[in-house]
Structure 1
Amino acid sequence: MKIRPVILCGGAGTRLWPNSKNHQAKQFIDFGNWTLLGKTLERTKASIYDAPIISTNKKYLSKVKQHLRKNKISKYKIVVEPAKRNTAPAILSTALIKDIPDNQPLMFFTADHLIEKMSIFNKAINKNKFNLNENNIFVFGIKPKSPTSDYGYFLTKKIKGNINKVTRFIEKPKEAKAKEIIKKNGYWNSGMFYLRKDSIINNFKKYNPTIYRNCLAAVNKAKYKSNTYHLNKSSFIKATAKSFDYAILEKTKQINAIKLDIPWSDLGSWKEILKMYDKNKSKYVKKKNVFYRPWGKYTNLFEGKEFLIKELFVKPKGILSLQKHHHRAEHWLVTQGNAKITLNKETIIKKPGEHIFIPLEAIHRVQNPGQKPVKIMEAQVGSILKETDIVRFQDLYGRVSKK
């Protein structure tokens, strides 16, 4: 029996757009002729997988169908949620549709993750297919590249059959604590799950019968049309809004881990997005988008909807003007050298790998006090992303805005 991939595609992406009413869901953002949902759908074309099932909401249904057409996927099922109820009801109601036999292995992908080296990932999934039973759950751990508080972690111990049993989950620790966890061979918790349909049912019946009862009614009363299940609203809204972690993972003892050492990110912050562009910038650089300034140069790498990605190159002793913006906030990720940053009344030194957020209307500047160039990846986020949206207060090169 093949593995059925289920893609959870209901997230709103509000973390990336704190000041925007019309924020874009992360999985649909065009990052340069590709989207995270498109990459996720591409993954499901591997020979180990059956036709995908996508869990989404009414608002995103047309975008999901567009992506399926673009990726030439004609066999699929969509489960439409009538209200937001977090991942526990989403996972359960998707698993309950009649297309899935009880012992079918289900691989739950999140639509907004970036995963590389999929051959290693798929090999690990296939290998563990025979370790699935009617009660256990496999979660995916990623070997940390550095201590960070952006992700949760877990610890494991080896049990019979060379299986890694999860002994403890740690939710987004502070950096010092993360260093300790990594020393104990802790892994990032990727938030992807692998289990059989009967395991989902048995775990919900045991640990969250209310969610089970209401999701079952929502599926049984669903309207089915054009490969799409529209879940019954009156039943679904009675299901408690809970994450799968809180509803099930915190309660069951039968959690195992598949540990992977592959490039992975959920692109959940502009810092992670900037890292991704920095890693792949050769694909985006065009000579006509390089602009020279007295302090160095900048390169426009990619302009998306309400965001612009740039790389700044600040020469030794170079100083940008002290400035602010009315229409955009900025995220900076230092990739080379030590940057001296003014943010309102504060002066901060940022080293390679460190990030800083420049809010809308904040007075700021960057300078390079050192002997080596400073490089910064910048994300401008806002409604106007032009050089005209610069109000200068001080400038070594005579470019102060006239009052």
Structure 2
Amino acid sequence: MSTITPVILCGGAGTRLWPLSRQSYPKQFSPLAGADSLFQASLTRLTGDGFAAPVVVTADQFRFIAVQQMHALGITPQAVLIEPTGRDTGPAVLAAALHLAQSDPDALMLVAPSDHVIPDAALFAQTVQAAVPAAQGGQIVAFGITPDRAETGYGYLELGGPLQDGAGIAPLIGFVEKPDAARAAAMLAEGRYLWNAGLFLFTVKDILVAYALHAPDMVEAVQTAVDDARHDLGFLRLAPDAWDRAPAISIDYAVMEQADNLSVAPYAGRWSDLGDWAAVWRETENDGLALSGPAYAIDCADTLLRSENDGQVIMGIGLQDIIAVAMPDAVLIAHKSRAQDVKQAVALLKAQGAGQADTFPKDHRPWGWFESLTIGDRFQVKRIVVHAGGALSLQSHHHRAEHWIVVQGTARVTCDGNVTLLTENESVYIPLGATHRLENPGKVPVVLIEAQTGSYLGEDDIIRYEDIYARD
């Protein structure tokens, strides 16, 4: 069995699953179709026999979320590459290939998005291994999904001939953009088209040759970004000045649509990119209903009802083909046939300056997360959760004082040089201007309620003196 290095791309921020998926906390880190997040499910699927430790490519703002979710699974990555800015999949895949080339130019790499659902991991692994001889023979192998409906939300792969006996591989002669309904129906009937899963297998040296041939303007910039990358707390930060010179383009446009050494490996199992709420409904429905959280339905059919807050009940009565998603700060209600149009709602909210367009109710930080419970004139109340071993920066504020009440765990609090251990039901007052820090020295999360008072309560009112996570 050949060893394959998974390259998992998790830097994107989709909008079609708003309000759950937002720029500050995109869908790949949420448990949309199971107990684990989509990113964690991808890691699990690409771990074990035949797979080396993964290379993860992500954005700066997601780096600690990705590491925390890997740690929860007991997975140690081979490397975590940090993109200074989003440049699409073309530069991201090239950076991973250049990084791997430093140690093994002959390595097999499997490029995989982090937000897909593939329930049959064993069948998927068999399909990937079956494609190894073609990849080792110089082919760039794309993975196509056998379609079961005339889908207009996916791109397609056009097969150039019948599958080779025993190999499960066929020539790939073309990519088809998302079709209209008539074209999708015709392609389904013809039987020569597969959904484009965005999964690719090739050797490092072969993909680097392909980039040199078809995207030479990208190679110099990304090579410099990798050569000048900086190690930072276990991450590899690509050099920003060089990285920003790379064109923002997908690997499909940059390389795949121009290469002549393409093959396709069909995958016949269940697959979804969970690209919109209708796809989530298809993956999670039971007798036509997809209910999540405290959600209830009376006389409803083909409907998704989802509440992301244990204290917020959502009730549907007499609904047909409806999507309703309730978050603490936003609610989406749409007809299932309009699921692809949710991005329009996000664009409208952005135009109106609404923070809900991009900002998730829970603000995730390297030490844990917090959420605002209530806010009013000159006050705000937050719930703060600090992971075991986590520590907020040593900091002070110009405009607010804080009162911390511990409700779970043990907290070490520093305030103007005085260090105190606080346990459940104990509290401390942090005066305006005081230099302070909160740490979790224990083995369980610390949960506390923070009451802020002052003339300005914005998150930018922070002066950092020390920070174990090296933030500015």
| Amino acid across the alignment from 2:106 | N
The aligned residue for residue 125 of structure 2 is 122
TM-score when scaled to structure 2? 0.62
Q: CA distance change for structure 1 residues 112 and 315 in 2, over 3 Å: closer, same or farther?
A: closer
Question: What is the rounded CA distance, in whole Å, between the counterparts of 2:194 and 2:263 in structure 1?
Answer: 13
- SS of 2:285's partner is helix
CA contact (8 A) 1:155 1:166 kept: yes
| Amino acid across the alignment from 1:122 | A
Question: What is the rounded CA distance, in whole Å, between the counterparts of 1:310 and 1:46 in structure 2?
Answer: 40
CA contact (8 A) 2:297 2:317 kept: no
Mapped pair 1:146 → 2:152: no
The aligned residue for residue 10 of structure 1 is 11
CA contact (8 A) 1:8 1:111 kept: yes
CA contact (8 A) 1:82 1:236 kept: yes
Matches within 5 A, 1:205-354: 205-279=212-286, 290=296, 302-304=306-308, 312=316, 314=318, 328-333=331-336, 354=337
TM-score when scaled to structure 1? 0.72
Q: CA distance change for structure 1 residues 207 and 134 in 2, over 3 Å: closer, same or farther?
A: farther
The aligned residue for residue 198 of structure 1 is 205
Matches within 5 A, 1:72-221: 72-98=74-100, 100-133=103-136, 135-156=138-159, 157-158=161-162, 163-185=169-191, 186-221=193-228
Question: What is the rounded CA distance, in whole Å, between the counterparts of 1:106 and 1:173 in structure 2?
Answer: 30
| Amino acid across the alignment from 2:180 | K
The CA deviation string for residues 259-318 of structure 1, in whole angstroms up to 9 with x for no partner, is 0111101111111112222149999679x85465xx779999642279x997846399xx
| Amino acid across the alignment from 2:37 | T
- SS of 2:13's partner is coil
Q: CA distance change for structure 1 residues 195 and 297 in 2, over 3 Å: closer, same or farther?
A: closer
Please state how far the C-alpha of 1:177 moved relative to its aligned partner: 0.3
Question: What is the rounded CA distance, in whole Å, between the counterparts of 2:209 and 2:265 in structure 1?
Answer: 22
The CA deviation string for residues 108-135 of structure 1, in whole angstroms up to 9 with x for no partner, is 1100111121211111211221221474
| Amino acid across the alignment from 1:138 | V
Identify the match of residue 52 of structure 1 among 50, 54, 57: 54
Q: CA distance change for structure 1 residues 167 and 301 in 2, over 3 Å: closer, same or farther?
A: same
CA contact (8 A) 1:2 1:105 kept: yes
Q: CA distance change for structure 1 residues 309 and 9 in 2, over 3 Å: closer, same or farther?
A: farther
CA contact (8 A) 1:105 1:197 kept: yes
Question: What is the rounded CA distance, in whole Å, between the counterparts of 2:128 and 2:136 in structure 1?
Answer: 14
Mapped pair 1:25 → 2:14: no
Question: What is the rounded CA distance, in whole Å, between the counterparts of 1:61 and 1:34 in structure 2?
Answer: 18
Q: CA distance change for structure 1 residues 248 and 330 in 2, over 3 Å: closer, same or farther?
A: same
- SS of 1:214's partner is helix
Question: What is the rounded CA distance, in whole Å, between the counterparts of 1:263 and 1:117 in structure 2?
Answer: 7
| Amino acid across the alignment from 1:304 | E
CA RMSD of aligned residues (A): 3.5
| Amino acid across the alignment from 2:239 | N
Question: What is the rounded CA distance, in whole Å, between the counterparts of 1:222 and 1:244 in structure 2?
Answer: 22
Please state how far the C-alpha of 1:332 moved relative to its aligned partner: 3.6
The aligned residue for residue 373 of structure 1 is none
Between stretches 297-306 and 146-155, larger displacement belongs to 297-306
Q: CA distance change for structure 1 residues 58 and 290 in 2, over 3 Å: closer, same or farther?
A: closer
In the comparison of the two structures, how many residue pairs are matched?
Answer: 330
The CA deviation string for residues 214-253 of structure 1, in whole angstroms up to 9 with x for no partner, is 1111111111244421111111111111110110011111
CA contact (8 A) 1:107 1:194 kept: yes
Question: What is the rounded CA distance, in whole Å, between the counterparts of 2:182 and 2:302 in structure 1?
Answer: 35
| Amino acid across the alignment from 2:18 | W
Q: Any unmatched runs of 5+ in structure 2?
A: 321-328, 346-359, 362-472
Q: CA distance change for structure 1 residues 289 and 173 in 2, over 3 Å: closer, same or farther?
A: closer
Q: Any unmatched runs of 5+ in structure 1?
A: 317-325, 334-353, 361-381, 384-403
Q: CA distance change for structure 1 residues 233 and 289 in 2, over 3 Å: closer, same or farther?
A: closer
The aligned residue for residue 67 of structure 1 is 69
Question: What is the rounded CA distance, in whole Å, between the counterparts of 1:242 and 1:129 in structure 2?
Answer: 27
- SS of 2:99's partner is coil
